[in-house]
Chain A
Amino acid sequence: SSNEHKLNFKKSKEACLSYIQDALLQKQWKRAAEFLTCYVESLEKDYSREHIGPSEMIWRIGTEIFWHHSQRRMKEFSCFMEQMKTLGVKRYLKVCLEHVFHLLYNGQIDEAYQNLSLAESWRFGEQTAIQDKEIKLIQAYRGLLDYCSWSKQKKILLEHGEDGFADLTVEQEMHGYFRKAAVNLKEIIKIPGVWDVFVKCYVDLLEFYGEHNEARQVLNDYAYNSKFPANPNAHVYLYQFLKRQGESKKSLISALKILHDIVPSHELMIDFNTMLQKSKKRKKRQLGLEVIFAALDYAGWKENAKAWSRLARQVKQIVISEKHLDWIKKEWNSRKDWWPDFHFSRYLAKRNWQENKSLSYEKALVAGILLGKDCKYFKYVSHQGCKVRLKRFRMLKKFVTRHNPVYLRISG
Chain B
Amino acid sequence: MEFPAALFPSFFTAGPPREEGGPAPVAGWGEHGQVLEAGPGRRQAQPAFVPRRGAPGERWEAAEAAAVPVLLPRAGCWIPSPAPQDILYRSGLCRKLQAGKCGATLDFAKQLGHFFVDHPEDAFGSLGRLLHKNFYLGNAKLKRPARNSTIRMTALVEDIDRLEARRGCPRQHLASRLRWFSHLCRDWLFEVPLGLLADCLHEELAQHWSSLLFDDSLTGGALAWLPPQDGGTPVGRLVHPGGQAMNHLYFQDVVLEELPHTQGLPAQFELSGCIRQVAAARVDGQDFVGVRSDYHCGVWRVPGKTGAAPTPLQVIRTDVPASCLTVSPHLPGELSVCTQSGTVYLWSVETGLQQLRHDPQTMFFRDHSPWRWSDFTAHPRVLSCADRTGLQCLDARAPKRCHFDLFKVGEEAGCQQGERVVLPMYLGRAHPSQYLVTTQFSMYVLDERLPLVPVLKWAHMMKAPPLFAHLMPGKPGRNHKVVLGASRTQELLLLQYRDSFWGVSSGGSQSACQLAGTPQKLHSIAGSLQHLPTQLPHRHHLLQQRLSAPAAGLAATLQENGPHKSMLIFQLSEAGDVFCQRLFHKATQPPAPPSRDEATTAPVPSPAAVLRYRRWLRALSRAWKEPPQHTWPPSLSQRRLFTRRDLEEPAGPSSLQKQMRQRLRQTMQEGGRVQRWEPLALQPPPLPQTLELAGGPDPLSNRLTAAWAGDWDQWWEERTSFSVAQRQRALRERRRRQKRARGRRSLPASFTSSLTYQSELSELSDAGPSLLSPGRPPVLSQEGSPPAGSPPVRSHPPSPAPDEALLSSQSLRCRGIPKERRKTLRDYLSVWAEGPPEPPELPGSQASQLCFPSSQSQLSSASQPLRKRPRMGF
| Those of B1-44 within 8 Å (CB) of chain A | 1-14, 18-22, 24-27, 29-37, 42
B510 nearest CB neighbor, chain A only:
A267
The answer to whether B90 has its CB under 8 Å from any CB of chain A is: no
The answer to whether B768 has its CB under 8 Å from any CB of chain A is: no
Contacts of B451 in A (CB 8 A): 229-230
Contact status B594-A70, CB under 8 Å: yes
- Give Cα A345–Cα B54 distance, bound, in whole angstroms: 43
Contact status B520-A26, CB under 8 Å: yes
| 9 nearest CB pairs, A to B | A63-B30, A300-B432, A60-B30, A25-B521, A347-B284, A27-B598, A101-B32, A196-B6, A64-B29
Contacts of B520 in A (CB 8 A): 25-27
Contacts of B9 in A (CB 8 A): 137, 140, 188, 193-198
Min CB distance B287 to A, Å, is: 13
Contact status A17-B26, CB under 8 Å: yes
- Given A24-B29, A28-B598, A101-B51, are A51 and B24 neighbors across the interface (CB < 8 Å)? yes
- Give Cα A152–Cα B34 distance, bound, in whole angstroms: 23
12 contacts between A and B (CB under 8 A): A21-B25, A50-B22, A63-B29, A98-B30, A101-B34, A107-B46, A129-B18, A133-B11, A194-B7, A194-B9, A197-B36, A267-B3
B450 nearest CB neighbor, chain A only:
A231
Min CB distance A88 to B, Å, is: 14
- Given A26-B521, A71-B594, A297-B380, are A60 and B26 neighbors across the interface (CB < 8 Å)? yes
**Secondary structure class of chain B's binding surface, majority of residues:** loop
Identify B7's interface contact among A18, A196, A341, CB under 8 A. Answer: A196
Contacts of A266 in B (CB 8 A): 3, 449
| Those of A11-49 within 8 Å (CB) of chain B | 17-18, 20-22, 24-31
The answer to whether B493 has its CB under 8 Å from any CB of chain A is: yes
Contact status A342-B30, CB under 8 Å: no
- Give Cα A98–Cα B519 distance, bound, in whole angstroms: 19
Min CB distance A265 to B, Å, is: 7
- Give Cα A18–Cα B489 distance, bound, in whole angstroms: 14
A27 nearest CB neighbor, chain B only:
B598
A63 nearest CB neighbor, chain B only:
B30
The answer to whether B47 has its CB under 8 Å from any CB of chain A is: yes
Identify A104's interface contact among B20, B35, B428, CB under 8 A. Answer: B35
Contacts of B284 in A (CB 8 A): 345, 347-348
B593 nearest CB neighbor, chain A only:
A71
Chain A 308-347 interface 0/1 with B at a Cβ cutoff of 8 Å (1 = within) = 0000000000000000000000000010011001100101
Identify A109's interface contact among B21, B46, B453, B461, CB under 8 A. Answer: B46
- Given A101-B51, A299-B330, are A192 and B30 neighbors across the interface (CB < 8 Å)? no
B51 nearest CB neighbor, chain A only:
A105
Min CB distance A128 to B, Å, is: 11
The answer to whether A305 has its CB under 8 Å from any CB of chain B is: no
The answer to whether A399 has its CB under 8 Å from any CB of chain B is: no
B462 nearest CB neighbor, chain A only:
A25
| Those of A261-299 within 8 Å (CB) of chain B | 262-263, 265-267, 297-299
Min CB distance B305 to A, Å, is: 13
Contact status A105-B26, CB under 8 Å: no
The answer to whether A102 has its CB under 8 Å from any CB of chain B is: yes
- Give Cα A273–Cα B765 distance, bound, in whole angstroms: 48
B598 nearest CB neighbor, chain A only:
A27
| Those of B30-89 within 8 Å (CB) of chain A | 30-37, 42, 45-51, 54-55
- Sample of 11 further A-B pairs with CB below 8 A, known A101-B32, A265-B449: A26-B598, A51-B22, A61-B30, A101-B49, A140-B9, A148-B47, A194-B453, A195-B9, A267-B2, A297-B381, A300-B1
- How many B residues touch the partner, as a band? 35 or more
Chain B 599-610 interface 0/1 with A at a Cβ cutoff of 8 Å (1 = within) = 100000000000
Contact status B11-A193, CB under 8 Å: yes
- Give Cα A192–Cα B14 distance, bound, in whole angstroms: 10
The answer to whether A200 has its CB under 8 Å from any CB of chain B is: yes
Contact status B54-A105, CB under 8 Å: yes
- Given A105-B50, A229-B12, A232-B450, are A28 and B599 neighbors across the interface (CB < 8 Å)? yes
Contact status A193-B12, CB under 8 Å: yes
The answer to whether B331 has its CB under 8 Å from any CB of chain A is: yes
- How many A residues touch the partner, as a band? 35 or more
The answer to whether A233 has its CB under 8 Å from any CB of chain B is: yes
Min CB distance A225 to B, Å, is: 11
Contact status A298-B379, CB under 8 Å: yes
Identify A194's interface contact among B12, B20, B51, B381, CB under 8 A. Answer: B12
Contact status B11-A192, CB under 8 Å: yes
The answer to whether B397 has its CB under 8 Å from any CB of chain A is: yes
- Give Cα A197–Cα B4 distance, bound, in whole angstroms: 12
Identify A52's interface contact among B3, B27, B46, CB under 8 A. Answer: B27
The answer to whether A404 has its CB under 8 Å from any CB of chain B is: no
Contact status A233-B5, CB under 8 Å: yes
The answer to whether A69 has its CB under 8 Å from any CB of chain B is: yes
A199 nearest CB neighbor, chain B only:
B6
B38 nearest CB neighbor, chain A only:
A105
Contact status B26-A342, CB under 8 Å: no
Contact status A27-B599, CB under 8 Å: yes
Chain A 85-123 interface 0/1 with B at a Cβ cutoff of 8 Å (1 = within) = 000000000000010011011010100000000000000
The answer to whether B378 has its CB under 8 Å from any CB of chain A is: yes
Identify B428's interface contact among A51, A69, A299, CB under 8 A. Answer: A299
- Give Cα A144–Cα B632 distance, bound, in whole angstroms: 77
The answer to whether B332 has its CB under 8 Å from any CB of chain A is: yes
Min CB distance A195 to B, Å, is: 6
Min CB distance A312 to B, Å, is: 21
The answer to whether B306 has its CB under 8 Å from any CB of chain A is: no
Contacts of B5 in A (CB 8 A): 196, 233
Contact status B35-A101, CB under 8 Å: yes
Contact status B30-A51, CB under 8 Å: no
The answer to whether A151 has its CB under 8 Å from any CB of chain B is: yes
- Give Cα A364–Cα B21 distance, bound, in whole angstroms: 56
Contacts of A265 in B (CB 8 A): 378-379, 433, 449
Contacts of B684 in A (CB 8 A): none
Min CB distance B439 to A, Å, is: 16
Contact status B35-A229, CB under 8 Å: no
Min CB distance A46 to B, Å, is: 15
Contacts of B24 in A (CB 8 A): 50-52
Contacts of B31 in A (CB 8 A): 60, 63, 98
A110 nearest CB neighbor, chain B only:
B46
Identify A341's interface contact among B55, B331, B378, B595, CB under 8 A. Answer: B331
Chain B 443-459 interface 0/1 with A at a Cβ cutoff of 8 Å (1 = within) = 00000011111000000
- Given A52-B24, A196-B7, A338-B380, are A105 and B285 neighbors across the interface (CB < 8 Å)? no
Contact status B10-A29, CB under 8 Å: no
Identify B54's interface contact among A67, A193, A299, A300, CB under 8 A. Answer: A67
Contacts of A191 in B (CB 8 A): 11
Min CB distance A275 to B, Å, is: 19
The answer to whether B518 has its CB under 8 Å from any CB of chain A is: yes
Min CB distance A334 to B, Å, is: 6
Contact status B380-A144, CB under 8 Å: no
The answer to whether A353 has its CB under 8 Å from any CB of chain B is: no
Contacts of A105 in B (CB 8 A): 32, 35, 49-51, 54-55
The answer to whether A68 has its CB under 8 Å from any CB of chain B is: yes
The answer to whether A59 has its CB under 8 Å from any CB of chain B is: yes
Chain A 355-394 interface 0/1 with B at a Cβ cutoff of 8 Å (1 = within) = 0000000000000000000000000000000000000000
- Give Cα A348–Cα B5 distance, bound, in whole angstroms: 31
- Given A51-B20, A105-B35, are A263 and B449 neighbors across the interface (CB < 8 Å)? yes
Contact status A17-B25, CB under 8 Å: yes
- Give Cα A18–Cα B462 distance, bound, in whole angstroms: 12
Contact status A192-B378, CB under 8 Å: no
- Give Cα A67–Cα B57 distance, bound, in whole angstroms: 13
Contacts of A345 in B (CB 8 A): 284, 332
Contact status B8-A194, CB under 8 Å: yes
Contacts of A300 in B (CB 8 A): 1, 378, 432-433
Contacts of B397 in A (CB 8 A): 334
Contact status B7-A64, CB under 8 Å: no
| Those of A181-211 within 8 Å (CB) of chain B | 188, 191-198, 200
The answer to whether B597 has its CB under 8 Å from any CB of chain A is: yes
